[in-house]
């Protein structure tokens, strides 16, 4: 089932609030992580004070611990210092410490988005969100200035406290060269509880597997 190059290097972890997987993407200047995520259904409307959720992909330089993250969230965002009951894009730099929330561009519930953190040249890491038809719907302007080159580490993250629902779907891919993309190891490494990510097919994974 698992045909990915470097599959043995994947690692899946959880702190019981987040479930995330990591894979070494390769070395050099071109690598990346991509995620296809289906936002929660039209019933989504976050009014719970405890309600926070996000899904994201990362590229990380293992040697410098530089990292670039992109995804969506709902709840209180540190970057904005405000609460969103809807679904919003965000990205972080500086190993997740500095967050930028896009609060004016509501994402559509029940839709599929592609997030990509792609280190495509020596000095430029590009992050963006696109709809399933390929149309790019968001790209923060600050994303062209991050030097992450070196050994790459792709990471996907699914973070949903237990009170949150409904389930979403996602597929995570990683790239050793910025060109070839491979489905990622949630399937073999994290299919069982408590990882809550279930392999469905070569291009389809379900968060909250089995629920």
Interface ranges with other proteins (CB under 8 A): 13, 15, 17-18, 20, 42-45, 47, 49-52, 54, 56, 60, 65, 67, 69, 71, 73, 75-86, 90, 92, 94-106, 108-111, 140-142, 157, 159, 161
205 forms bridges with which residues in the sheet? 170, 199
Nearer to other proteins, 6 or 109 (CB): 109
Nearer CB in complex with other proteins: 70/130 = 70
**Cβ closer to other proteins: 11 or 177?**
11
Pick between residue 52 and residue 199 the one whose CB is nearest to other proteins.
52
In whole angstroms, the minimum distance from the beta carbon of 4 to other proteins comes to 22
* Residue 6 Cβ vs other proteins, minimum distance, rounded to whole Å: 20
Task: Give the rounded distance of the alpha carbon of 76 from its chain centre.
Answer: 18
Least separation in angstroms between residue 188's CB and other proteins is 21
- Its sign, for the CA torsion 133, 55, 193, 12, is positive
Neighbours of 194 (CB within 10 A): 8
Q: What's the min distance (Å) between Cβ of 101 and other proteins?
A: 7
| 3-state SS, residue 145 | helix
Strand, coil or helix: 184: coil
Q: Nearest distance from residue 113's CB to other proteins, in Å?
A: 13
C-alpha–C-alpha distance, residues 61 and 83, integer Å: 31
How many C-alpha atoms does 113 have within 13 Å on its Cβ side?
28
Residue closer to other proteins, measured from CB, 29 or 111: 111
Cα 190 to chain centroid distance, Å, stands at 16
Q: CB of residue 76 vs other proteins: minimum separation in angstroms? A: 5
Query: Which two three-digit tokens encode residue 164?
Result: 């949150």
Instruction: Choose among 164, 174, 146, 132: nearest CA to 11.
Output: 174
Residue 59 contacts residue 33 (beta carbons within 8 Å)? yes
Which residue's CB is nearer to other proteins, number 26 or number 157?
157
């Amino acid at each position: 089932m698992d045909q990915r190059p470097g599959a043995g290097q994947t690692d899946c972890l959880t702190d019981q609030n987040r479930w995330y997987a990591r894979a070494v993407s390769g070395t050099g200047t071109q690598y990346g992580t991509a995620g296809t995520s289906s936002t929660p259904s039209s019933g989504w409307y976050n009014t719970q004070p405890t309600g926070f959720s996000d899904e994201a992909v990362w590229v990380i330089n293992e040697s410098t611990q530089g990292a670039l993250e992109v995804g969506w969230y709902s709840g209180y965002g540190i970057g904005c210092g405000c609460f969103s009951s809807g679904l919003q894009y965000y990205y972080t730099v500086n190993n997740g410490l500095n967050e930028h929330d896009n609060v004016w561009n509501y994402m559509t519930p029940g839709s599929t988005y592609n997030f990509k953190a792609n280190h495509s040249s020596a000095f430029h890491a590009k992050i963006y969100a696109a709809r399933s038809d390929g149309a790019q719907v968001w790209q923060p302007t600050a994303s062209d200035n991050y030097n992450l080159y070196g050994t790459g580490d792709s990471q996907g993250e699914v973070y949903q406290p237990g009170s949150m629902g409904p389930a979403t779907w996602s597929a995570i891919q990683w790239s050793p060269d910025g060109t070839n993309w491979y489905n990622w190891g949630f399937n073999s490494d994290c299919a069982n509880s408590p990882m809550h990510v279930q392999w469905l097919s070569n291009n389809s994974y379900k968060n909250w597997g089995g629920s």
